[in-house]
Amino acid sequence: MILRWYILRELLAGILLAFISLTAILFLMNLLGPMRAFAVMSLSFLARSAPAILLYTMPMTLLVGVVVGMTLGYGRLAGDNEIDAMRVSGVSLRRILAPAMAAGAAASILAFVIYWDAVPYAGRVQRSLRDDALLEMLKSPPPGPQQFWLGSMMRMSYREVKEGTFKDFRIVVYSSVDHGASEIHSAREARLVAGETAAVEMRDYRTLRFDSQGQRLPEQTAAEGRFQLPISGKVDDVPRPKYAGGARLLRMMNEGAFREDAAFEFHSRVAGSLTPLVLALMAALIGIQVRRSSRLAGLGASLPPLFLYMILALPLEQLALGGSLDPRLAAYLPVGLMLTADAALYWRMAR
């Protein structure tokens, strides 16, 4: 028991240090990022967005903190020959790794709590605040030629603005499949109409669309037109699994319109919650093999498990979102492969 608490204290010190440091860095980066995107950003806006940004960054920083802390902790013990002393004294590898499993399990439980409701809530708040910032900017647009994104799939630009009227106005809508332009709406003049939802009224309106193969369709023109902007601020009314809390997500899995996306989101959250435990064991096994007491050596050894997981997870996520792969396979395959690697490393070291 004394040995277990000794190892656990060593691990927690590294985990907390890495987690707090990385969270502070990413929090500041994500907090200052919107200030470059929106000229009307105010201190009150930043204060309202800070809690959501913090919650949004915690799953990744928790994962990295666990991996780095495990590698550094066990790396120091191995570098000071304490692991060898434990093995010579008859302490099994399983007992040496027990604190890593306990810390990894605690991190997985915390990750599940964050993924289940906190991260979707943070996403809803950030989306709502982003809409508020965009609406304020459109009401008081910066002068001169400008272009900026309205969401992730729509870009707006204009040559100049006079008395609230945009000149040479254009909106480009991008395809979610190949990310190429699918619609181009342009007008000689446009003016914002803000009510419950935001829209622009355009004069000398032209619309150009492209089919699924990227072929240009006949251009449509009109003396006047109206285009609805994806800005409402009412994110709770947006039926997207990404923003759904745990209970609502379970209901959406049984609704035909969102069944596939909701299933992928559910299994991604569960798999993401298991990842700290799986990577904690791998980081501990790698850390034991670091024979130097140098912190940089341990830090460098902690990077391969993270890179390997990202290389596996990101392409599978895109395949699942595109409908080419079962969402359960896409979510759990990286975890399964990492578990297989854990078993191979454990067997090799336990011989």
Backbone angles phi, psi at 41, to 5 degrees: -60, 130
User: Residue 109 has what pLDDT?
Assistant: 93
Q: Which helix (H) or strand (E) holds 189?
A: strand 181-194
pLDDT given at position 16: 87
Q: Same domain for 115 and 163? A: no
Asked whether residue 65 is assigned to any structural domain, the reply reads yes
Instruction: Name the residue among 171, 164, 176, 174 with its Cα closest to residue 206.
Output: 171
pLDDT tens readout for residues 250-285? 888 887 667 777 888 888 899 889 999 998 888 888
Model confidence at 217: pLDDT above 70? yes
Residue 291 has pLDDT above 50, yes or no: yes
pLDDT of 141-159, one tens digit each?
Answer: 888 888 887 766 788 889 8
Question: Over the chain, what is the mean pLDDT?
Answer: 80
My answer on whether 36 and 117 are in the same domain is yes
Domain count, the chain: 2
Q: The whole model's pTM is what?
A: 0.72
Domain presence at residue 284: yes
Q: Is the pLDDT of residue 37 over 60?
A: no
Q: Tell whether 37 is covered by a domain.
A: yes
**Which of 198, 229, 260 corresponds to the end of one domain?**
229
Q: Is the pLDDT of residue 108 over 90?
A: yes
Which residues form the domain of 206? 152-229
Q: Residue 293 — very low, low, confident or very high, per pLDDT cuts 50/70/90?
A: very low
Question: Would 39 be classed as within a structural domain?
Answer: yes
